[in-house]
Amino acid sequence: MKKLYAVLILFISAISFSQNIRFEGIIQDTNKAPLEMANIMAMNQGSKTMDAYAITNDKGKFVLNLKPNSSYTIKMSYLGMQNKEITVTTQSQNITQNIMMEAGGIELEGVEIVREMPVSIKGDTIVYNADSFKTGTERKLEDVLKKLPGVEVNADGEVEVEGKRVTKLMVEGKDFFDGDTKLGVKNIPADAIDKVQVLRNYNENSILKGVENNQDNVAMNIKLKSGKKNFWFGDITAAGGFRPEGKFDRYNVNPKLFYYSPKYSVNIITNFNNIGELPLTIQDYFKFTGGFRSMMAKGGSSFNISSNDLGISLLRNNRAKEIETDFGATNFSYNPTKSWSLSGFAILSSSITDLETVSTTNFLDPTSTEVASTENRDEIAHQKSNLGLFKLSSSYKPNANFQFDYDILTKFSKQDENNSLLRETIDENNISTTEGIFTAKKQDPVTVNQNLSFYYTAAEKHIFAFESQHLYQDENPFYNADLQSDPFTSTLPPSNILGYDTSQNRTNLNQNRFVKTNKLDAKLDYYYMLTPKSNINITLGNTNSNQSFNSSMYQILDNGNVNELDNTANTNDVNYRFNDAFLGLHYKILTGKFTFTPGVSLHTYALNNEQLGTSYKQNFTRILPDFLALYQIKKAETLTYNFSFTNNFTDINRQAEGYVLNSYSSLSTGNRTLENSIQQSHTLRYFKYNMFNFENIAGAISYNRTIDAIKTRAFFNNVNQISSPFNSEFADETLTFFGNYGRSFFKYYKASFTANVNWSKFNNIQIDRNTLQDVLVTNESVSQNYSLKASTNFKNMPNIELGYTFSVNEYPNDKFFTDKPTVRLDYFFLKSFSFVSEYEFYHYYNSDKSVENEYDFLSASLIYQKTKDSKWEYKISATNLLNTTSLNDDNFSQFSTRTSQYRVQPRYVLLSLKYNL
């Protein structure tokens, strides 16, 4: 840590002792009105390089930091004004000078100036000149984006600009895997990038632009260098390496090819490795929308289809004991005519993963915050996952007034997980029981999502939009629990599982589930433009869902025979229909600096649950209001308030009343009489972005209150659980705060601070095992995360990035803390060598330090490429140089807290050879 602080002091000193001459002033028009967002740059007449640039603030002010005793040509440009040049010679004193620009700019000359500016603005578009920020060590789009002022990239490949997440990524105006940012930032070569365009207030349908609220929509378009267009480009990498014991058995083969022309584009990405690189994780697969969005978001109802994923273990930070991956993806776009475009992608991924985890779970006493029982587990899991995604899209736009779109996305997977663990159970009397447990999970779900929509401007004041989505989902999870002894004692199974044979030496329970879903959403919007700044939106919509749920259990006896547990209490045969017909009315008006959008929707609901030989029906009507207010304080400063009421409905998975085997120690039953919950949401967001010094301020506070929430009633026998859902009469609440401040200094420095705080209060019912009475369990938790980062971006000097993250997770019976300082060093030297190294240190502990662990990760790579145009590149790299063996984490459920330690991959040393096309 002392070394880290020393580096931080040197970093601050580098900023403090920068010797620059300030050249500042105001750019005005001939009427002395300040010109906001005018471009100004300083070209050194001696070195012929650009030493500084700026964009004026709302008062027309600029500041350039120049070298002393030098001569500069100062160039200025502003849309609609004539470009201007002046000469300035610096000595040792600061210079103040106001500059006047005259009307009548020539567009071609303006474009020429923009090409030289590192950053420029035109309307809602920010343009970054990538070469202005590259230092020579960049290899992927991610490396470039991290150096752009106002842009952040997190570990999951998600990009944020001005504090808002980029929801669509394009290359040359064409969707890159339907906007997925991770595949783009991790694979697009840095040397192919000419410009990065940030498109604010983005709406991919120009017909609806202006009538909808798009202030939170941000897209990014990558412009390629001219030599990369109409030619194949990319690279082919092959690497081999060894582990600490000297076995040369590590490999990584990673070809990537790209082709872009005005008529069509093709992207091919492959990766075959056993070093832990996962181009697409299981988490990515489940959240990959393929561009599909929630079209009913402003309707007031939420009917989400849950996933029967069996709790298959997801990797933390893509780290595990062993990971082997085969990945292939291709994306294309084609324009048969000027008005018709086709696009699509195919992604296939196969991975084999071994995980080792040691964990402790403390189950909370329902009458106090004390620990009622404890479960210690030593667990080994082996996973096989095959994932596939296929998408085809068609868009037909013969003119500016009509657009017709169709999309189909198919997702399938085949997942298997075999798990063996040694479990120690300690009850409230401190009596310990140890047993071995083996489980198997299998599933191969299929999902098909289709979208059909058209948009039509009938006249200047009349706009129609029809959108529909159909979801088909077929799931068939299988679960097997094989235990050395019977964990289901007392009032838990076998007494609950009717027909269960208790005379067996082992517990071998199995369950098949089959869940099918057909869900159709459709809505018709009519927009009437009252004035150029106001409109009325009438929405007629409907959501219809039909689901079936079938499950059955069986027991394998000691002699291998099968005991069918076919009692109605152990099986499910359920059909569930849900329908929501609604009429919505919204009014949008812009008045001065304010935008108001009040709205209301009238819903008629019809629910029918058929099981156990009877039907249970619900029919009712609700009125749901919503409201949005936007205060445009300045051009890039806003304050936004959102309010909404939402009816939340559960799907069939919590309606089926037969037993469902969730795990070796958990059974659950459904509740067909469940009602919807009502969520009241308030969000206040502040945003400010200053191109003058790239200052970025973003903050949000949100409060959610849910009444009649669907909660869980649980009964615990030590650590074994039976649970069922119910509508709670007590409200659940969450309060979340987010804040971010970032800015650039003196062209070469960048810093940011981020804070996230979340408070939650949840109510459940736990059955006291002694009295068998319901006990209300109210749990509050607070999570805090604070992050500070600072970095340099020199052209001919080593660059350093320093970071520090502090997180606190406060649960009812304990607090967990994590200190995480980080350092990244990159240096391009001798015009051929690139050195990159990253270091992370973790200090993990709880309140009394009864749980404490320290571990760190160090990686480094050295790359040789003779010149930037050379085809061949040679690299030696090492991961986990300090050979850290395990990591920690913790989590909280409303009945327990869990801390775990999981094994990670050892040190790998790799030798790589890359050929650049």
Share of the chain above pLDDT 90, in %: 52
Q: What is the reported pLDDT for 19?
A: 64
Nearest partner of 429 among 663, 767, 770, 813, judged by Cα: 770
Lowest mean pLDDT among 459-463, 469-473, 495-499, 868-872: 495-499
Classify burial at 226, counting beta carbons within 10 Å of its beta carbon; exposed 0-12, middle 13-18, buried 19 or more. exposed
pLDDT of residue 113: 43
Between the two ends of the chain, the Cα-to-Cα distance in Å is 43
Q: What does the radius of gyration of the chain's CA atoms come to, in whole angstroms?
A: 30
Mean pLDDT of 796-812: 92
For residue 248, which phi and psi values (nearest 5 degrees)? -90, 80
Query: In which band, very low, low, confident or very high, does the pLDDT at 672 lie, cut at 50, 70 and 90?
Result: very high
Q: How far apart are CA 278 and CA 280, in angstroms?
A: 5
pLDDT, residue 492, reads: 41
Report pLDDT for 369: 64
Token look-up 């459940």 returns 764
Q: pLDDT tier at 756 (50, 70, 90 boundaries)? A: very high
DSSP state of 832: T
In which band, very low, low, confident or very high, does the pLDDT at 493 lie, cut at 50, 70 and 90? Answer: very low
Task: Give pLDDT, residue 109.
Answer: 39
According to DSSP, the residues that pair with 219 across neighbouring strands are 168, 199
Mean pLDDT comparison of 114-118, 203-207, 242-246, 262-266, highest-scoring range: 262-266
Confidence (pLDDT) at 529: 94
What's 283's DSSP letter? H
Q: Which of 143, 116, 123 has the alpha carbon at shortest distance from 51?
A: 116
Distance CA 458, CA 188 (A): 41
Quick check: helix, strand or coil at residue 656? coil
Q: Closest Cα to residue 609, out of 679, 672, 558, 692?
A: 672
Average pLDDT over residues 590-611: 95
Q: 106 Cβ partners below 8 Å, 6+ apart?
A: 82, 83
DSSP designation for 635: T
**pLDDT bracket for residue 699 (50, 70, 90):** very high
Confidence class of residue 286 from pLDDT cuts 50, 70 and 90? Answer: low
Report the pLDDT averaged over residues 102-128.
65
pLDDT of 485 strictly over 90: no
15 has a pLDDT exceeding 50: no
- pLDDT for position 484: 64
| The pLDDT of residue 878 is above 50 | yes
Out of 202-211, 443-452, 738-747, pick the least confident: 202-211
pLDDT, tens only, 621-654: 999 999 999 999 987 789 999 999 999 999 999 9
What confidence score (pLDDT) does residue 107 get? 44
Report strand pairing: 125-129 vs 614-634. unpaired
**Neighbour count for residue 872 (Cβ, 10 Å):** 11
Q: How far apart are CA 777 and CA 472, in angstroms?
A: 38
**111: pLDDT strictly greater than 50:** no
What is the mean pLDDT of the segment spanning 847-854? 86
| Coil vs helix vs strand at 196 | strand
The two tokens of residue 616 are: 């249970």
Statement: residue 114 has pLDDT above 50: no
Do 35 and 28 contact (CB within 8 A), yes or no?
A: yes
What is the band of 291 on the pLDDT scale with cuts at 50, 70, 90?
low
pLDDT at 372 over 80: no
What pLDDT does 487 receive?
Answer: 44
What's the confidence (pLDDT) of residue 293? 63
Cα–chain-centroid distance for residue 869?
Answer: 35
Please give the pLDDT value at position 290.
60
Q: Which of 289-293, 331-335, 543-547 has the lowest mean pLDDT?
A: 289-293
Q: Amino acid letter at 789? A: K
- At residue 179, the pLDDT reads 64
Q: If you search the block for the tokens 């100004």, which residue do you land on?
A: 40
Helix (H) or strand (E) holding 116: helix 107-116
79 confidence band (pLDDT: 50, 70, 90): confident
3-state secondary structure of 38: coil
Q: Is pLDDT above 70 for 300? A: yes
Q: Diameter of the chain by CA atoms?
A: 97
pTM of the model: 0.87
Give the pLDDT band of residue 55 (cuts 50, 70, 90): confident
- The percentage of residues in the chain with a pLDDT greater than 70, rounded to a whole number, is 91
Contact 515, 529 (CB under 8 A): no
Query: Does position 180 have pLDDT exceeding 80, yes or no?
Result: no
pLDDT band of 713, cuts 50, 70, 90: confident
- How high is the pLDDT of residue 115? 42
pLDDT at 894 over 80: no
